[in-house]
Chain A
Amino acid sequence: GEDVEQSLFLSVREGDSSVINCTYTDSSSTYLYWYKQEPGAGLQLLTYIFSNMDMKQDQRLTVLLNKKDKHLSLRIADTQTGDSAIYFCAEDQGYQKVTFGTGTKLQVIP
């Protein structure tokens, strides 16, 4: 099947903004999610956006959704060293089926 695609790696300096991009596959997906995985741990839900929204802001996180292009992005403002992790986007295709992206490893340089 088609993959939910993300770039593998992103490096930013502490205090800068990070933008992590994702291209998903199913235009009928109801929700899109962003998860964070710290080293050696499970995934934690960071935020989500409903498919009829263009943007959602949650403190330092901004999610942008371009449904026409099936493109999702996560912007982290004022990136901190504690933000270093792998970030996964995921699409909710209903019937309890969620497909995850390949993950983007964010490295924050002090």
Chain B
Amino acid sequence: DGGITQSPKYLFRKEGQNVTLSCEQNLNHDAMYWYRQDPGQGLRLIYYSQIVNDFQKGDIAEGYSVSREKKESFPLTVTSAQKNPTAFYLCASINRGQGRNEQFFGPGTRLTVL
């Protein structure tokens, strides 16, 4: 079945460490996205990539980095520069069928800083 996978589901990080969250899709979608979700704040866009080897900052990119070496993969690194990284992270890709930007989401990764 086609879909988006994220791993791990739960991740614990010590202060000062970088961690990388995985996102893989087999939907053949060009565009991929990373969102951060905090209670009562909805989804905030971290980074997005419309094509391989290209990505743009979203609204809250500081303290995060991404790469897009393959169409299927869009990993997110949470660096030690991110002051408040504890959150639920969601990866998505877009199907532009019929002119709509319909987003498909992965199951999410919950990151906790100890």
User: Is the beta-carbon distance between B103 and A45 smaller than 8 angstroms?
Assistant: yes
Q: How far is the CA of A88 from the CA of B96 in the complex (A)?
A: 20
Q: Count the A residues whose beta carbon is within 8 Å of the partner chain — how many?
A: 27
Among the 9-residue stretches B13-21, B40-48, B63-71, B79-87, the one with 4 or more Cβ atoms under 8 Å from chain A is B40-48
Of A4, A98, A100, the most chain B CB neighbours within 10 A belong to A98
Q: Separation in Å of the A8 CB from the closest CB of chain B?
A: 6
User: Is the beta-carbon distance between A41 and B101 smaller than 8 angstroms?
Assistant: no
User: Is the beta-carbon distance between A40 and B102 smaller than 8 angstroms?
Assistant: no
Q: Contacts A40-B108, A42-B108, A44-B105; is A100 near B100 (CB within 8 Å)?
A: no
User: Dominant SS at the A interface?
Assistant: strand
Q: What is A's interface to B at a CB cutoff of 8 Å? A: 1, 3-4, 6, 8, 30-31, 33, 35, 40-45, 48, 88, 90, 92, 94, 96-98, 100-103
Q: What is B's interface to A at a CB cutoff of 8 Å? A: 4, 6, 31, 35, 40-43, 48, 50, 59, 90, 92, 94, 96, 99-108, 110
